[in-house]
Structure 1
Amino acid sequence: MSMLRLPPRTGSPRTRSARRHSRAALASFGPAGWVALGVVVLLVLAVVAPSLIAPGDPNAIDALAALRPPSWTHPLGTDESGRDVWTRVVHGARSSLGVGLAATAIGVAVALVLGFAAGLGPRWLSTVVARVIEILYAFPTLVLALLLVAVRGPGLAASVLAVGIATAPGYSRILRARVRGVADSGYVTAARLEGVGWWRRFGRHIAPNTLWPLVVVVTLGIGQAVVWVAGLGFLGLGALPPAAEWGAMLNAGRVYLTTAWWLSVGPGLAITVTAVALTVLGRALGRVSPA
């Protein structure tokens, strides 16, 4: 008598569904998304441990090596003080990208308060917050940042605060619309009619379906914040010399565009690559939805 052989068990239906979702998510991420993720990892490494990529002092002066073109010794040449441009670009990631991350964190923190208050609060509060957001959103982000820096004064801390507050209205507007849409959805209404408590509805339905799209927008926003911080540095309102910051390096290199073009190419490429990588990564994350 032959025994009936059962097929091997490969896990519960929920586990198999999660595996299928993971494979689909990885496929939708795309090659460009993985390349962008690799670039972002290198940028994070430059922020956390820049000496691993470019050992040396970014502010070390060598007057005899001033304005040397790119070579094996100095891949991006040297500046007017003989400082290695490659080392300054790598170490400048901490100022430029770090400031962009800090500014985005401030903007998101303000947006979370305003967005959830407007989306889940009483109607009068939603109206007041919406009017405030619209007034601030009417100002271009860089103009609002310039206004805040003019009030507080130039400096790295002022740039972080200015760009953070200037980006908050855009995040708040997106979050408010998303929160109201999720809170009025059918599954949240059904959960409320079934007697599910407010905090459980918020933690299980509202927050997950609201914050994931915000993560995608924030990833795109970090690249924009880096560009705006560099813009403030280029105008002399960001990091003060001799700090290695990409915008300030561009400002210093504009005087030598015709004689030492490499002074602007290094920080310019760093800003461009950072903004493009974060934009591509944000769009790749937008194609991936959580299970």
Structure 2
Amino acid sequence: MTDTVTTAPARPSWLKEFWYYFRENRGAVIGLWIFAAFVLVAIFAPVLAPHDPTQQYRDALLLPPFWQEGGRIEFALGTDAVGRDMLSRLLHGARYSFYVGIVVVAVAATGGIVIGLISGFAPKWLDTIIMRVMDIILAFPSLLLALVLVAILGPSLTNAMIAIAIVLQPHYVRLTRASVMSERSKEYVTAARVAGAGKLRLMFVTVLPNCLSPIIVQAALSFSTAILDAAALGFLGMGAQPPTPEWGTMLAEAREFILRAWWVVTWPGVAILITVLAINLMGDGLRDALDPKLKRS
């Protein structure tokens, strides 16, 4: 007589489970593919761009898209007021936008997570001070506060990224603190504390991994916010400075040509619109896939 051993069905891996819920949101999948294309364009911009983004062709000022000369299209998306190729500037502008998003999210998330963990484990008086400071920062309109900070630091792309990171940081602080407050009373945290785990181990090893899902979603949404704010600061002359091919700066340079050269305003605006929309759609998919309350059984 042989004994039969029944085994429970294997649980799908975390990645397969994530992709299963993520792909149910069709808009999120489309956003993911557009974002992937955006990343590839940012990486390979020097190879894809047909011209130097700062090269001025004085005999080709404000040429419309698909202008042909001698049966050959030299500037596929036209040229700007000083004869620079719009396509090349748009491709290189993707690099600046991607760079802004990565740096801002990294700085804001790192600082916000650390402060949020400290606030969640700190005594009540320190927690109150930290949260009131965050409330004060959130009380100001984000773009206005970023403008004030850039005015203090000086107009540049680096200072704009610092200002945007400071403005976005309170969102991570509040989100991390809320997650910590809901997790710290659970049994596994009590067991780790009884086992002799120190405060830092409890914060960064025991509790933090279980708080990452909402933080990842916030990071995706903050990426698009950083791109929009950097473009807004560039449009106002407080971000990237000419001749940097940053999309907001390109819009600022094209303001006076809106009526007679539509393409110099349209292409940077469309690039910002598509990129931010794709990232927001992808963020919705991340929320659906990572939030257990939204998962269907």
- TM-score scaled by length of structure 1: 0.88
Query: 1:237 and 1:108 mapped to 2: Cα distance?
Result: 23
Question: Structure 1 residues 290, 136: CA separation in 2 closer, same or farther (over 3 Å shift)?
Answer: closer
Aligned to 2:22: 29
What is the number of equivalent residue pairs in this alignment?
283
Q: Aligned pair in 2 of structure 1 residues 113, 4: CA closer, same or farther (>3 Å)?
A: closer
Q: Deviations over 1:107-161 (max 9, x none)?
A: 1122122111101122221111111111111111111101101111101111111
- Alignment-mate amino acid for residue 65 of structure 1: A
Question: 1:242 is aligned with what amino acid?
Answer: P
The answer as to whether partners of 2:101 and 2:227 remain within 8 angstroms in 1 is yes
Instruction: Give the aligned residue type for 2:114.
Output: V
Q: 1:270 aligns to what?
A: 271
Q: Are 1:177 and 2:178 matched, yes or no?
A: yes
- 1:5 & 1:188 partners in 2: Cα distance? 41
Q: Does residue 217 of structure 1 match 2:215?
A: no
Report the alpha carbon displacement of residue 82 of structure 1 after superposing the two structures with TM.
1.3
The amino acid across from 2:64 in the alignment is: P
Cα deviations across residues 43-63 of structure 1 (Å, max 9, x unaligned)?
222322212332431111111
Percent of paired sites with the same residue: 36
The answer (yes or no) to whether the contact 2:235–2:249 under 8 Å persists in 1 is yes
**Alignment partners' CA distance in 2, 1:112 and 1:204:** 13
The separation in 2 between residues aligned to 1:23 and 1:160, in whole angstroms, is 35
**Alignment partner of 1:59: what SS?**
coil
Could you say which residue in structure 1 is the equivalent of 2:12?
18
1:128 is aligned to 129
Q: Quote the residue 1:288 is aligned against.
A: 289
Q: Taking structure 1 as reference, are residues 18 and 73 closer, same or farther at Cα in structure 2, changes over 3 Å only?
A: same
In structure 1, the residue matched to 2:142 is 141
Q: Pairwise CA RMSD of aligned residues?
A: 2.5
Residue 51 of structure 1: aligned partner: 46
2: CA distance between counterparts of 1:5 and 1:192? 43
Equivalent position of 2:65 in the other structure: 70
**Equivalent in the alignment of 2:83:** 82
Looking at structure 2, the residues matched to 228 and 5 of structure 1 have their Cα atoms a distance apart, in angstroms, of: 66
1:272 counterpart SS class: helix
- Secondary structure of residue in 2 paired with 1:73: strand
Determine the structure 1 residue equivalent to 2:70.
none
Give the aligned residue type for 2:286.
Answer: L
Distance 1:63 1:236 in 2: 25
Runs of 5+ in structure 1 lacking a partner?
none
Pair 1:240 & 2:233 matched: no
- Residue 99 (structure 2) aligns with: 98
Secondary structure at the residue paired with 1:60? Answer: coil
1:254-265 aligned within 5 A: 254-265=255-266
Counterpart of 2:18, as a letter, is A
Structure 2 spans left out of the alignment, 5+ residues: 67-72, 293-297
Aligned AA for 1:166? V
Q: Aligned partners of 1:196, 1:227: CA distance in 2, in Å?
A: 46
Residues 5/255 of structure 1: CA separation in 2 closer, same or farther (3 Å cut): farther
Q: What secondary structure is seen at the aligned counterpart in 2 of 1:78? A: coil
Against the structure 1 CA distance between its residues 112 and 82, is the aligned structure 2 distance closer, same or farther, given a 3 Å change threshold? Answer: same
- SS at 1:18's partner residue? coil
Distance 2:212 2:29 in 1: 22
TM-score relative to the length of structure 2? 0.87
| Whole-angstrom CA distance in 2 between matches of 1:23 and 1:4 | 36
| CA–CA distance in structure 2, aligned partners of residues 196 and 43 of structure 1 | 47
